[in-house]
Structure 1
Amino acid sequence: MTKFNSGPKINRRTLLKGSLAAGSALAMPAIISRSALASSGEINILMWSDYLPETFLKSFTDATGIKVNYTGIGSNEEIINKLKASKGRGFDIVSPTNNRALQWKALELLQPFDMTKIAIDAVNPAMGKIGSTDWGFVSGETFWLPHIWGTEGMAWRTDLFKPDGMFPSYGDVWSEANAGKTMGRAHSMMLGAGLYMETIGELEPGDMWKAYTSEDAMRPIWDKVSEFCIARKGNIKLLWNDADTQKNGLLNEGVIVGQTWDGPPLALKTAGEPVMYRAPKEGAMAWVDGMAMPTGAANTEQVYEFIKYAFKPELAGEAIDHHGYNSPVLGADKFAGEAYAKNFADAYPGDALAKLNPWPSEPQWYADIRTEYANRFESAGV
């Protein structure tokens, strides 16, 4: 896997290698003893809506006595807007994506972790390093920890759609052949459209990454992308905004193919539904969602207890079977069910891991302009 803005290449092989190297040190019983060091109270968590399954929450509360107040979200913008409105108060842990560091640095709404209380060696080193480099807002401090990683690519109904070859394409969402039966999230679906346009000569190779360099570079590229997408908006059945919307689209809304996160369709696949997820030929978009502590966090002792349990391989691995994503915790894959290895192989066959696109860091100007284009697409008539 190409790097996430810092550190060495990450792929399933390096994760497994790290897991084996850490083996004996990280091996723990699957059931946590109630006699474990406990901390009373509660913790308020603002996190992606499908990241904390009930099994994890129950194990954590049973072991620590800490009640989790879990608020689910579906976008980075929701996290930022809630913290800006509350001036950093109301939540003890939030879960920004790794590429949003530049936006959070300017907001000054996060506080650094006390790394003496965190077993950072429990996670993949390349992902752990992101917190001290990209998110090292103050020299020697860490404002972010890795929690879950995954990709955005293509999902489809195996009984209703078949890719042209081994890999689907971002272009399948916009195709006339699939008109009225596709879905995506506006801003990332437009990015996927741009990557597809590069392959058919409507954009120059590398244009979509060039757009991150300046507003002057971005606008002419996104003007073309916007024109392409608006002209084909009628082909889109559903715009999703969270994991449940993606699942519902594939199961109940007549969607046969869509641009999605990896977790929701893989969870459906594990449950026996006729659904597949795979990196597209243009390369899946890779991300790492983390844990960060707002400046107004009121339950800091509970924060460190939560992180300790989030970094336990047996709990992280068991959670994989529910949310369908991947864990940076070394050895977590050993505690996932048999379906995990098959899902991973199905999602990233051939050279798919080598072609992953790490989502670039986004300055605020880029996010603002992208929202402008996404709003233009969403409000366009059909």
Structure 2
Amino acid sequence: MQYWAYITLTRSLHHFHAKDGSAVVMNVHTGQILAMVSAPSCNPNAEGSCMDPADYTNNAVHQAFEPGSVMKPFVVAAALASHSVQPDARFNVFHPLIVDGYAITDDVRHHILNIEHILKYSSCIGASKIALKTPEQIIYNMYRSAGFGRKPDLGFVDATSGVLPNWHSWSLARHATIALGYGVSVTTLQLADAYAAFANGGYHMRPELVMGQAPVAKRIMPAWVAKKLRVWLQSVAEPGGTGILAAIEGYHVAGKTGTANMANGHGGFYGHTTNATFVGFAPGNHPQLVMAVSLRGSHFKWNFGGIEAAPVFRVTMRHALQELDVAPACHHGPTMRITIRPGQNLAEIAQQYHSSVAHLMQINQMTNPEDIDSGALLMVPTPKGGKHICRFEAPLVSRAQAEIWSEGGGGA
């Protein structure tokens, strides 16, 4: 898991000419950190390596950044939990929203959107309208309870808490744009930790590095709110969504893209340099793992979170789910019997038929995965037309189409 996270992150970092990046994988039910990677990095065993002080920085906990639209689900959660907005609310996002003299716009124009589509197409106008209907203190408390603005107790020297200004100091513009991930800075670890609450039914889990520690959980949103977000966030990785490149064949994926112009340190932003982020969990209907990916300082043409960070999630999460033997959604179809060939084991058969060891043991009423004999009959998912049945397939889309959708261009 650590290997795949590092390999895919560094490849994306080099391909998109990003300055640095990080990724974190966590168990959504225990808070256990299963992978944490930072790039650029070095091999301390290699002579002459690790000469740059930046090589010793763990960007996942030491580097805070403005995260962009990955913060929108937390404003939605705050609005729903406080009944400031109803789940079936719809918003007109056709015209720019003028707040304190600033125009909030969307990259792609839509008309009337419900909350699910505001998240799917990442409408800044829609998210800001939801934020302005929700009291500042309610939003602040949701952010704070999710772990933003607080330093993680993991023992890392100089780990940052990020920046979350007290709600008393918010201007009207800050009230509207903090929903868009501006005016707040977070770490990759904080994002993974916070999104676990959507996945596990509304609990913030204290992140843990050491196995065997008892989970520490605190409810931060009602279960019904977390369930709504779980369903809505699955649309982000479906056709038309900004996170289509996070889709994994055989698994439902839920998540959110984020793209923020990178601050220049002088009160403004670089013209075409971004923080690109994706945070998601899988399987979307019964989540086990959450992963946050961020790349800072990219100036690539299509430097969106859905283009740079989502593929890192897809590759890493696919291998992680297989490593943990989490069965894909496609294993519930019709079954047939096959004859076990000499030398075959259950893991090989599970991979061949797009299933899992656990599911094959279940449908064959086995108690031991070693309990298979050559020549014996085994029940497996039924192939169809030379291909294996999969109730949920990752859609085939062109790179150009994915780039358009990543900008919010799905059809409404």
Q: Which has the higher strand share?
A: 2
TM-based fold match above 0.5: no
TM-score bin, normalised by smaller chain: under 0.3
Larger CA Rg, structure 1 vs 2: 2
Select the structure with the greater relative contact order (CA < 8 A; seq sep ≥ 6): 1
Q: Which has the higher helix share?
A: 1
Give the structure-1-normalised TM-score.
Answer: 0.25
